[in-house]
Amino acid sequence: MEPQARSVTEHVERVLVLVTPPRAVERDLEDALGSVLAEDLCAASSVPPFDGAAMDGYAVRLADLPPDGSPVTLQVTGDVAAGESDLAEVGPGQALRIMTGAPLPSGADAVVPVEHTSTGRFVAGAPRSESSVTLARRPRAHVRGAGEDVRQGDLLAHAGTAVTAPLVGALAASGTVRVLVRRRPLVAVLSTGSELVPAGEPLGPGQITDSNGPMLAAAARASGADVVRLGPVPDDPAALRAALDDAVRPAGGAGRSGADLIVTAGGVSAGAADVVREVLAASGPGSDGGSGLTDVDVATVAMSPGKPQALARWRGVPWLALPGNPVGAYASFELFARPAIDRLRGEKAPGGPRPVALAAAAGWAGAPGRLRVVPVRLVPMPDGGAGAGTTASAVGVVPTGSHHALSALAAADGLALVPPGVEKVCAGDSVQVLMLR
């Protein structure tokens, strides 16, 4: 009798129990892009570090400008460029030409933009020619105050935050040079099956090209992991054990540490040649002479495609065994392997991307008792979705083809996740879609 199928949510929880983030490492700020912070980061200095001009114009004293906006003529006594440190003082009845980003000179408390003065504009490279300027009080002072953006000690990012280009900019502006981040996890990806041939090699009778290996390796890289590709591995237990040992063994000469996570595709169903099930059921000695298998959890998950799943540790390294059906393998990666990689990366809330609610632009069948995973593409809804049943949306989704076909997956903008209790999706129904692009 087939065991009771567990829910997708329960299987995710069991996956996350297996994984812990690798140690933190210090990186130069720019080299940390894409990594996840291992500690809270505060501003090392204030941004901006001084009061400065927000516009090209004239540094003036507000006391010299009538509150009613009447124009006055002031004596121009010098220039202030960005980066200058030896600044003249602005005295009564005086103004200094000042450029954007330049420090505000002593005595000045406002900048009048040049386009609102008698000068009109500055000419790049031309020497100052005006000895006086006529201008008036403006509604804004056009001064960036010291610490206006960030004050020294302000929290810029929490531990668990991914380092993005804008965060690099904010940290650099406040004086941060190096950051403590979680090391990028290394994911070993291998596919199983004696019928599989690496892409680009000629096919013999009964052989097919391995697509799961390259696809899952690409998905792991897109999730923020480094990848080592192994296989394809034939349906031979000794060959699979050797490949697993190779995945977890540090490659000292190449400078590679052992994998933090193993992801396999295929061999986990109930066939007579399903090598992963065979190894999980009765692991023999690995290549180093010891049995490396612990925490075996062979499961039936209530999803279609992707029902057969298994979890284990191989020599202490988490192992996620996904089914060989390409759509099932990819859906399983998004639902199970991506949350595991998120946790390995040190994300605050591992769980992978969150689905969004969209309207079905056409109907399709569900899978009673199981989560139905359907590759879908975005299409315009009739009349902008104004009369579309339960969901009003300008954009809806339709299936791209057979939910078992790799071509349907390649054409998909997302994966519709239809709950187990839904026997049929009707046009206009709201569906949860895991967006792929």
Q: Where are the domains of the chain?
A: 8-22+184-345, 30-46+148-182, 52-144, 356-435
CA pair distance 239, 230, nearest whole angstrom: 11
CATH topology assigned to domain 30-46+148-182: Molybdopterin biosynthesis moea protein, domain 2 (3.90.105)
The answer to whether domain 30-46+148-182 and domain 52-144 are alike in fold is: no
Q: Which CATH number fits domain 8-22+184-345: 2.60.40.10, 1.10.1280.10, 3.40.980.10, 3.30.1300.10?
A: 3.40.980.10
Tens-digit pLDDT string for the chain (437 aa): 456 789 999 999 999 999 988 889 999 999 999 899 999 999 999 999 999 999 999 999 999 999 999 999 999 999 999 998 877 899 999 999 999 999 999 999 999 999 999 999 998 887 778 999 999 999 999 999 999 999 999 999 999 999 999 999 999 999 999 999 999 999 999 999 999 999 889 999 999 999 999 999 999 999 999 999 998 999 999 999 999 999 999 865 445 579 999 999 999 987 767 899 999 987 544 444 456 899 999 999 999 999 999 999 999 999 999 999 999 999 999 999 999 999 999 987 766 668 999 999 999 988 888 999 999 999 998 765 554 444 456 889 999 987 678 899 999 999 999 999 899 999 999 999 999 87
Lookup: tokens for 68:
């009613």
Q: What is the DSSP string of 354-420?
A: PPEEEEESS-EE--TTSEEEEEEEEEEPGGGGTT-TT---SEEEEE-S-TT-HHHHHT-SEEEEE-T
Lookup: tokens for 12:
């995710």
pLDDT of residue 2: 55
pLDDT of residue 298: 94
Q: Which CATH class is domain 52-144?
A: mainly beta
CA pair distance 239, 173, nearest whole angstrom: 53
CA pair distance 384, 275, nearest whole angstrom: 50
Kindly state the DSSP code that residue 86 receives in the 8-state scheme: S
Helical packing angle, 338-345 and 8-18, nearest 10°: 30
Type of residue at 161: T
**Structural contact between residues 422 and 366, judged by C-beta atoms closer than 8 angstroms:** yes
Superfamily of domain 356-435: MoeA, C-terminal, domain IV (2.40.340.10)
